[in-house]
Chains A and B, each alone.
Chain A
Amino acid sequence: MTRLSSYRDFDWVLLGFVALLSLISVFEIKSATLHTKFHGFDQKQIGFLAVGLVLMFLISLIDYHRLLDITPYAYGVSIVALIAVKLVGQKVLGARRWINLGGGVHFQPSEWVKLVLILAVARYFWNLAGRDPNNPSLTWPDIGKSFALVGIPMALVLIQPDLGTTLTYFPLLLIGLFLGGIRIKQAAIILLALVMVGGIAYKSGKRLKPYQQARINAFLNPDSDPKGSGYQIRQSLIAVGSGGIWGKGTNRGTQTQGDFLPIPYTDFIFAAFCEEHGFVGALGVLLLYFLILMRLIQNAQTASDIPGTFIIMGVVAIIVFQIAVNIGMVVGLMPVTGIPLPLMSYGGSSILFTFLALGIVMNIRMRRFVN
């Protein structure tokens, strides 16, 4: 009954944009891995996309209010999972991010926690906004609790260590505070406090791991470390710049094919794309992202209730953040981080997270007329 009729409300337009972007990504991954030992990653990506699509449809079937109901439990389970990873996770290159479930199956909790956190933030601010929907405001205790809500998982991921993923939780807090009605004065105070804490931590040099410190140094002065992360930034700039306006052509990017662009199928996939398809191609992809994001925000506006809006904006926040950080890194505006470009970078966790998030968005959109 409700299920069948609401498939009309499924956002086919959005799905169309997403599918187009995914297709571009598969071709670019194929090009980036053509002569390397990662041959065949494009097919794996297709596999991830297929699973992602299925999951997206499945999760759109469950009323999102039910998801909100179980969110407190899901949050608890997430905390446990994050603690478990630190205790029993597999140590790879000095970081514990995965739990080995046996049979070659690996589970990276930090990606799934993002989903739970979107719901948790939405639920928390929904409770607050319910007090006075037309003029939402936050008291300092409210702000403090929201910091704790997001901060605890952030801290648990940070000690894995995984700075990149930790940072992706941050925009959830920002959007929650923004939509929840934080005042400019309150925001300014918090910003000042963060800058001070950040400055102290940076100066003492104790908080950042050596490679993270090196990345920031390399960002500020790429030539100081021509072989390390400075190398990555330098190669990325050369790849992007030498693409010019029209690009060098599919599979003909010399920096990508010549193996000079590091990790071209995940972190630097946009650089590979720019080298091969130029400024025009890059504009095209950015346009697609723009359309997707606008579409998402539109869905947020037409959502039937406050939590729906919050959830969709949470998804928007994370996606925008990842795009900004990744492409910013590729063009030299931001330091190197390990954050993937949504829908373009190779990687199961990222794809699955994105499609599940989109599924929830579909979910909300499909129920916008339901009372």
Chain B
Amino acid sequence: MESVPESAGSNGRNEKLSPGKLHAAQYIVAAILVALIGGLWRLQVLGADNYRVLAEANRIRKVPVLAPRGRLFDREGRLLVDNYPSVTCYLLREQLHDKSTELNADLTLIAQGLHLTVEQIQATLRRYQLAPKYQPIPLKQDITPDEQAFIEAHRNELPELETHDEQRRLYPRDGFAAHLIGYVGEVSEQMLNNNSRYAFYSPGDVVGQSGVEQTYDSLLRGKDGSRDVIVNSHGKEIGHLGQTLAVAGQDLKLTIDLDIQMAAEKALEGKIGAIVAMDPHTGEILALASRPTFDPNQFAVRLTRSYWNGILANPDHPLLNKAIQAQLAPGSTFKIIMSVAGLQEGVAQTMHIPCNHGATFYGHYFACDKNHGMVDINTAIPWSCDTFYYTLANRLGIDTIAKYATSLGISQKTGVDLPDEVSGTMPSTAWKLKAQHEKWYAGEVISVGIGQGATTVTPLQLARALGGIASGGVLRRPHVVFTDELPPDQVTAIHETFPGSGDSSIPLASENWQIITDAMAATTTSGTAAAVHLEGIDFAGKTGTAQVVNHSAGATSLGKGNERANAWFVGMAPRRNPDIVVAVLVEHGGWGGTASAPLGAHVIEAFVEKQRKRDNNLRIATTPQPTQSPPVKEIPKETAKAEPTVSSVSGTN
């Protein structure tokens, strides 16, 4: 009815094809099947005996030749991470299929020789029950020489035991630089299926799971080789087909300095937080430490469940690299960025503000922790006067502040070549609309001026920003591996995998630069960090005390326990074009000047002393005359030292 083709003359639906063609088709089908039967006959009837022999003889095994993983060195070529040869004892079940009852008798002997219990061995056997019979079962890893001797001595009685040499990672003890280095582990099924990075990896491959081990895994892993051997059904090698040589992984030189790293790790002992030290000229990271830490050696061998649970349950998150993953309010360290904004906009130079323990804006009272009297830009920084910065923030407005902050890398990743960096936040009118679907209220800018509010930063961002400001506005991409050691396509790949602020520069007029750097130098002589003044070193910095819980405006208490303020400090030496910038975060440490500044000073001291000891380096710190500033009137409550005036006198050189 409906579907008669138009070209058909008659009623085409009832016509059929001539049956001859279909008969022909039947014969063709039959012929094909007969041909297939012929092929089967040839193999299964005529050639059966021949193939049976081949089947018995034919078992090809690929014996992997492991490539040694690249080692990690510090910038002076001192070894940080190495491989060590480890021997694993395997059980071959193929050897057993004739004597299954005897295995149980052997178990006692094996347990004795390998220092295991019979129950442990049986549990391992159960775990591998479903695996193909020819797959060797690992009984014990890292066997000792006497256990190896035991296996050798019992080759006749226990032919089912076999040893394999493997390479294992040897990391520094006690979690030294654990977050920076990272660790290796077996690639998971999830990673294989979901991440195109692992397209060419197979199950059982060991890959870097964090830190440098992860970022540079493709360079470090090298390429395993293999030997193809033919074994008969008894597992005996009766021939080999060929081999591919292993390609060793590339050794990598990290930018960190072992001495500075040790100083940083020692300083952080017993605290929760992070220290990152960087060379602002190049972006090379000299030290990176985070606490609490974990022991990556535990991950390299079979991880015990209790250790893993312990790590997961720890509320301070030992696996988190706080230098790049902690995003917290910066507190007063932000005032340096405010100062750049204020001076470049031409607003801050002329500001003379009376600080009377605080001020009122938009009907709310905002406190300053002291009565500083008359404050200008030169004193606002060393004294860390909140009132000054409340006022400055109010005059600049949030979007101007955000403009300068983002140009200095706040709220963006730095692009460091470590995984899982976070970007932090910089509030602005646009940000608030997008993130919270609300208008920005003018009064919210006040707290941003002192580094509170919605602003969050990471220690590395701060180090890069403030180091860059002190370097005349030139900011660098932080990195942990020297780029000139890497092949160029690798460098591009790294830059693409880790996008961020990278290398950039901001306009900074030279008189503004001088004002800020001199004021930061004053901080460590007569300001909030005066207690950590370093004799004979041109040491500049800024403290920060970031409240964790929003106390009502007017409260100056630090809070207790987990609500205690986070202590920040960023220090550098010398004050202009510094050779090192250190950012310190001590979570819930209280005052920045008390908790964090000493750690920063300790690291900088170590650095400068090392510099001076170097034979070719005859630099003498030149400290220009600081501008006159009135002495601090009151001592911060928690300083252990006595009179600040003593330090300010000895501070001026």
- Given known contacts A282-B40, A331-B36, is B55 in contact with A297 (CB within 8 Å)? no
B39 touches A129 (CB 8 A): no
- The answer to whether B44 touches A130 (Cβ under 8 A) is no
**A290–B9 Cα gap in the complex (Å)?**
38
Measured between alpha carbons, how far is A313 from B5 in the docked complex, in Å? 20
Q: Which of A293, A306, A328, A371 contacts B12 (CB 8 A)?
A: A306
Q: Which of B17-70 contact A (CB under 8 A)?
A: 17-19, 21-22, 25-26, 29-30, 32-33, 35-37, 39-45, 47-48, 50-52, 54-55, 58-60
Q: Which residues of B contact A289 (CB under 8 A)?
A: 33
Q: Nearest B residue to A309 by beta-carbon distance? A: B17
Q: Which residue of A245, A305, A316, A331 has the most chain B CB atoms within 10 A of its CB atom?
A: A331
A332 at the interface (CB under 8 A from B): yes
Say yes or no: A130 contacts B12, CB within 8 Å.
yes
A249 on the interface (CB 8 Å rule)?
Answer: no
Is the CB of B8 closer than 8 A to any CB of chain A?
yes
Assess A306 versus B51: contact at CB under 8 Å? Given A237-B43, A240-B43: no
Cβ of B435 to closest chain A Cβ, rounded Å = 27
Say whether A65 contacts B3, CB under 8 Å. Answer: yes
Our pick among A134, A231, A257, A316 for the contact of B18 (Cβ within 8 Å) is: A134
In the complex with contacts A243-B44, A320-B29, A332-B43, A297-B22 CB distance below 8 A: yes
CB distance from A325 to the nearest CB of B (A): 10
Instruction: Say whether B164 faces chain A, with CB atoms less than 8 Å apart.
Output: no
Contact A283 B37, CB 8 Å, known A297-B25, A306-B16? yes
Residues of A within 8 A of B363 (CB): none
Of A136, A241, A294, A297, the residue contacting B51 (CB under 8 A) is A241
Check A108 for interface membership: any CB of B closer than 8 A: no
| C-alpha gap A279/B47 in the complex (Å) | 12
Chain A residue contacts of B35, Cβ below 8 A: 333
- Neighbour of A65 across the interface among B2, B19, B44, B131, CB < 8 A: B2
Q: A274-B44, A306-B17 are in contact. Are A130 and B51 (CB under 8 A)?
A: no
Our pick among A240, A260, A300 for the contact of B40 (Cβ within 8 Å) is: A240
In chain B, what residue has the closest Cβ to A308? Answer: B16
Closest chain B CB from A133 CB (angstroms)? 4
CB B314 to nearest CB in A, in angstroms, measures 34
Cross-chain contact A290 with B36 (CB below 8 angstroms): no
Given contacts A259-B132, A279-B41, contact A305 B26 (CB under 8 A): no
**Given A244-B44, A331-B43, are A68 and B3 also a contact pair (CB < 8 Å)?**
yes
Q: Which residue of the partner chain, among A136, A226, A286, contacts B17 with CB atoms under 8 Å? A: A136
Closest to A254 in B: B55
* Residues A133 and B133 in contact, CB atoms below 8 Å apart: no
Interface residues on A, range: 35 or more
State whether B48 touches A241 (Cβ < 8 A).
yes
Known: A127-B7, A241-B44. A286 touches B33 (CB 8 A): yes
Q: Is B642 an interface residue (CB 8 A)?
A: no
How far apart sit A126 and B52, CA to CA, in the bound complex (Å)?
A: 52
Q: Quick check: is B134 within 8 A (CB to CB) of the other chain?
A: yes
Q: How far is the CB of B63 from chain A (nearest CB, A)?
A: 14
Chain B residues lying within 8 Å of A241, measured Cβ to Cβ, are: 43-44, 47-48, 50-52, 54
- How far apart are the CA atoms of A65 and B3 in the complex, in Å? 7
Question: Would you call A36 an interface residue if the criterion is a C-beta within 8 Å of the partner chain's C-beta atoms?
Answer: yes
Taking CB atoms, residues of chain A closer than 8 Å to B29 are: 290, 293-294, 297, 316, 320
Chain A 156-186 near chain B by CB (<8 Å), digits 1 or 0: 0000000000000000000100110000000
B110-145 CB contact bits vs A (8 Å, 1 = yes)?
A: 000000000000000000001111100000000000
Min C-beta distance of A209 to chain B, whole Å: 18
Q: Does B13 contact A (CB under 8 A)?
A: yes
B131, closest chain A residue (CB): A35
Given A69-B3, A243-B44, A331-B40, residue A260 in contact with residue B59 (CB < 8 A) = yes
Contacts of B50 in A (CB 8 A): 241
Please indicate the chain B residues that have their CB under 8 angstroms from the CB of A300 in the complex: 22
A301 at the interface (CB under 8 A from B): yes
Q: Complex Cα distance A274/B26, Å?
A: 26
Chain A hits for B41, CB < 8 A: 279
Tell me the residues in window 130-148 of chain A with beta carbons closer than 8 Å to chain B beta carbons: 130-131, 133-136
Q: Are B130 and A126 in contact (CB under 8 A)?
A: no
Report A275-314 residues with CB < 8 Å from chain B CB.
278-279, 282-283, 286, 289-290, 293-294, 297, 300-301, 303-306, 309-310, 313
Nearest to A243 among chain B residues (CB) is B44
| Docked CA distance A309–B14 (Å) | 12
**B7 interface neighbour in A131, A227, A257, Cβ under 8 Å:** A131
Q: For A178, give the chain B residue with the smallest CB separation.
A: B21
Contact with A305, one of B16, B52, B59 (Cβ below 8 angstroms): B16
Q: Is A327 an interface residue (CB 8 A)?
A: yes
Say whether A54 faces chain B, with CB atoms less than 8 Å apart: no
* B241 cross-chain contacts in A, Cβ below 8 A: 226-227
Beta-carbon contact of B36 and A328 below 8 Å: yes
Q: Does A258 contact B (CB under 8 A)?
A: yes
Cβ of A116 under 8 Å from chain B: no
Q: Which residue of A lies closest to B130 (CB)?
A: A35
Query: Given A65-B3, A245-B45, are A238 and B55 also a contact pair (CB < 8 Å)?
Result: yes
In the assembled complex, A200 has its CB within 8 A of some CB on chain B: no
**A227-B33 CB under 8 A given contacts A241-B50, A258-B133, A316-B25:** no
CA distance A238 to B50 in the complex (A): 9
Question: Which residues of A lie under 8 Å from residue B58 when comparing CB positions?
Answer: 235, 238, 255, 260
Question: B39 to chain A: which residues have CB within 8 Å?
Answer: 327-328, 331-333
Query: Hey, what's the 0/1 contact readout for A306-344 against B, CB within 8 Å counting as 1?
Result: 100110010010001001100110011100000000000
Least Cβ–Cβ distance between B108 and chain A, in angstroms: 28
Query: In the complex the two chains form, what is the Cα distance from A352 to B18 in whole Å?
Result: 32
Q: With A and B bound together, what is the CA distance between A305 and B51 in angstroms?
A: 51
B228 contacts which chain A residues (CB < 8 A)? 227
Chain B residues near A69: list those with CB within 8 A: 2-3
CB-based contact A133/B12 at 8 Å: yes
Contact with A along B549-561 (1 / 0, CB 8 A): 0000000000000
Q: Is residue B511 contacting chain A, with contact meaning CB distance below 8 A? A: no
Distance in angstroms between the alpha carbons of A84 and B35 in the assembled complex? 40
Query: Taking the complex as formed, is A242 at the interface, i.e. its CB lies under 8 A from any CB of chain B?
Result: yes
CB <8 Å contact, A179 and B44: no
Given A279-B45, A305-B12, A305-B14: A294 and B132 within 8 A (CB)? no
Q: What residues of chain A lie closer than 8 Å to B40, measured between beta carbons?
A: 240, 274, 279, 282-283, 286, 331
Decide if B102 is an interface residue (CB 8 Å cutoff): no
Option from B13, B17, B30, B47 in Cβ contact (under 8 Å) with A179: B17
B615: Cβ under 8 A from any A Cβ: no
Q: Does B146 contact A (CB under 8 A)?
A: no
A257 CB contacts on chain B under 8 angstroms: 132-133
A sample of 5 cross-chain residue pairs with beta-carbon separation below 8 angstroms, ordered by A number, consists of A36-B132, A69-B3, A134-B18, A255-B55, A293-B29
Which A positions have Cβ atoms within 8 angstroms of B? 35-36, 39, 65, 68-69, 126-131, 133-136, 175, 178-179, 226-227, 231, 235, 237-245, 254-255, 257-260, 274, 278-279, 282-283, 286, 289-290, 293-294, 297, 300-301, 303-306, 309-310, 313, 316, 320, 323-324, 327-328, 331-333, 371
Closest 4 CB pairs of A and B: A241-B51, A130-B8, A331-B39, A133-B15
Known A133-B16, A240-B40; further 19 A-B contacts with Cβ < 8 A: A68-B3, A127-B8, A133-B15, A133-B17, A237-B43, A240-B43, A241-B47, A241-B52, A244-B44, A258-B133, A279-B40, A279-B44, A290-B29, A294-B29, A297-B26, A303-B16, A305-B12, A305-B14, A323-B33
